[in-house]
């Protein structure tokens, strides 16, 4: 990660509430010790780099302040829970499934946005069809190799035609800093839903709010700001 700074999400207003999450802890890193302090990003150090609107470039976020290193060879995606065929996918297994390509904007809730990002991967809907979701399933819980980030989607949200288990981004393999070898890309929602270093998908009977949601972000991260357990507007993304 030599030339890539690691960002914590800075404080941001979400609707009418303020998020006081990892970004603030990062900014107060000196209180908590050197490890956290070291991860306060360069761009934040220049002033408001992390929260400038429409910066047109990615920030590299990591809750833990590090980027897990997982080779394609060692990579595994475990899919379990309320499915007919619990399956552990290798990287090659994922690449052997039908691929979907999308070009979409990537938008963080803090205001930065990168237009026209190319993605390639397995449609989450295709992956779910492959394992067979059981009728009593309600939601998915996602886990990361970082051991910290978690996310959720309802089954309806997961079946949208623009939600990818992505292995290519920006026309190349997803880099380690961007969550490679495999990350989520949830096009109609803010970036925090696009969990990096995806390690497991558990099909469950209720929505279990993820890391960012436990820190105040809406469970439904629709970019258009609507809320509710199952509503969606796939046209937007
Ligand atoms: N594992 C993990 N995934 C994550 C995050 C994180 O800190 N850890 N940050 C989220 C947030 S808030 C955003 S905006 C995007 C940023 O993606 P990038 O780091 O590839 O730019 O990743 C999301 N996925
Ligand atoms: Mo974000």
Domains and CATH numbers, the chain: 7-236 (3.90.420.10)
Report the range of poorest mean pLDDT among 82-91, 104-113, 134-143, 176-185.
Answer: 104-113
Say how many Å lie between the CA of residue 54 and the centre of ligand 2: 13
Q: Return the ligand number nearest the Cα of 63.
A: 1
Q: Tell me: pLDDT of 46 over 90.
A: no
Summary mean pLDDT of the chain = 81
Counting atoms of ligand 1 from 1, which one is nearest the CA of 144?
1
Read off φ and ψ for residue 31, nearest 5 degrees.
-70, -35
Complete DSSP assignment for 49-73:
GGG-TT-SS---B-TTSS-----TT
Tell me which residue has tokens 């946005």.
113
User: What is the model's pTM?
Assistant: 0.81
- Strands (E) across the chain are located at 12-14, 17-19, 76-81, 87-90, 100-107, 113-123, 139-144, 150-154, 163-169, 172-173, 183-186, 198-204
Q: Return the ligand number nearest the Cα of 66.
A: 1
Mutate-to-test residue for ligand 1 from 196, 212, 216, highest number of ligand atoms within 8 A of CB: 196
Query: What integer pLDDT is reported at residue 130 of this predicted model?
Result: 97
Residues with CB under 6 A from ligand 1: 9, 58-63, 108, 144, 146, 149, 178-179, 191-192, 194-197
Counting atoms of ligand 1 from 1, which one is nearest the CA of 109?
14
Say how many Å lie between the CA of residue 161 and the centre of ligand 2: 22
CA-nearest residue, atom 18 of ligand 1:
60
Query: What integer pLDDT is reported at residue 228 of this predicted model?
Result: 41
Q: Tell me: pLDDT of 93 over 80.
A: yes
Spatial CB neighbours of 210, under 8 Å, sequence gap ≥ 6: 141, 142, 149, 150, 151, 152, 195, 219
Say how many Å lie between the CA of residue 113 and the centre of ligand 1: 13
Query: What integer pLDDT is reported at residue 118 of this predicted model?
Result: 97
Counting atoms of ligand 1 from 1, which one is nearest the CA of 148?
1
Chain segment 50-80, per-residue pLDDT in tens: 445 545 789 999 999 999 999 999 999 999 9
What's the pLDDT band for 84 if we cut at 50, 70, 90? very high
What's the pLDDT band for 225 if we cut at 50, 70, 90? low
Say how many Å lie between the CA of residue 191 and the centre of ligand 2: 5
- Strands (E) across 35-161 are located at 76-81, 87-90, 100-107, 113-123, 139-144, 150-154
CA–CA separation, 141 vs 134, rounded Å? 15
Counting atoms of ligand 1 from 1, which one is nearest the CA of 190?
14
Query: What integer pLDDT is reported at residue 7 of this predicted model?
Result: 75
The stretch 23-33 carries a mean pLDDT of 32
Report the alpha-carbon angle 44-48-53, nearest 5: 120
Report the range of poorest mean pLDDT among 7-11, 181-185, 233-237.
Answer: 233-237
């Amino acid at each position: 990660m030599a030339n890539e700074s690691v960002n914590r999400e800075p404080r941001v207003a979400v609707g009418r509430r303020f998020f006081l999450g990892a970004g603030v802890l990062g900014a107060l890193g000196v209180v908590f010790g050197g490890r956290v302090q070291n991860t306060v990003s360069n761009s934040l150090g220049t002033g408001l780099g992390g929260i400038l609107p429409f910066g047109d470039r990615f920030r590299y976020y990591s809750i833990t302040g590090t980027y897990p290193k997982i080779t394609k060879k060692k990579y595994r995606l475990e899919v379990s829970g309320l499915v007919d065929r619990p399956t552990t996918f290798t990287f090659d297994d994922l690449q052997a499934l039908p691929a979907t390509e999308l070009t979409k904007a990537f938008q963080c809730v803090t205001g930065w946005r990168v237009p026209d990002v190319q993605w390639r991967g397995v449609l989450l809907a295709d992956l779910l069809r492959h394992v067979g979701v059981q009728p009593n399933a309600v939601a998915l819980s996602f886990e990361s190799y970082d051991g910290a980030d978690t996310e959720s989607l309802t089954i309806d949200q997961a079946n949208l035609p623009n939600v990818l288990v992505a292995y290519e981004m920006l026309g190349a393999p997803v880099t380690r800093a961007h969550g490679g070898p495999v990350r989520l890309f949830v096009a109609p929602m803010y970036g925090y839903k696009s969990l990096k270093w995806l390690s497991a998908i558990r099909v469950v009977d209720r929505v279990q709010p993820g890391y960012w949601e436990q820190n105040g972000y809406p469970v439904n991260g629709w970019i258009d700001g609507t809320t509710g357990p199952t509503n969606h507007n796939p046209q937007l993304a």
